[in-house]
Amino acid sequence: MRLEKAFLAVVIMALVTYIPRALPIIVFRKEIKSNYIKSFLRYVPYAVLGALTFPDIFYSTGNLISAICGTLVALWLSYREKSLVVVALGAIITVYVTGLFL
């Protein structure tokens, strides 16, 4: 792709990323009364993050076995309530080290 066309593509990507973020915050300001919708919105982040993580995490390293090892370490470190950075580093190092033996 030519550079000018790629640049335009990036601007389009930026717009279609910004619009869903901005619309509710700028246009929608009323308080939601329904307990169902409130609960729904409260649960959405967990549902989104769960669906984003599994099963994609198993394909994230190019090798299923190293990815499974990394996932197990991430689960174990998160269960121990380690910080985001420690969990991410632990998973990266595990994948890298298991990758050396595969």
Q: Within positions 39 to 68, which residues make up the interface with other proteins, using CB under 8 A?
A: 39-57, 60-63, 66-67
Q: Is 101 in the site for other proteins (CB under 8 A)?
A: no
Minimum CB separation from other proteins for residue 75, in Å?
A: 6
Minimum CB separation from other proteins for residue 54, in Å?
A: 4
Displacement of CA 7 from its chain's centroid (Å): 25
Minimum CB separation from other proteins for residue 81, in Å?
A: 5
Residues contacting other proteins: total by CB under 8 A: 78
Q: Is 82 in the site for other proteins (CB under 8 A)?
A: yes
Residue 90, token pair as written in the block: 């632990």
* List of residues 6+ apart from 102 with CB closer than 8 A: 63, 65, 66
How far apart are alpha carbons 46 and 39 in whole angstroms? Answer: 12
Distances (CA, A) of 12 to 9, 15, 25, 27, 38: 5, 5, 20, 21, 32
The footprint of other proteins on residues 18-37 (CB under 8 A) is 18-26, 28-29, 31-32, 35-37
The single residue among 4, 8, 65, 101 that binds other proteins, judged by CB under 8 A, is: 8
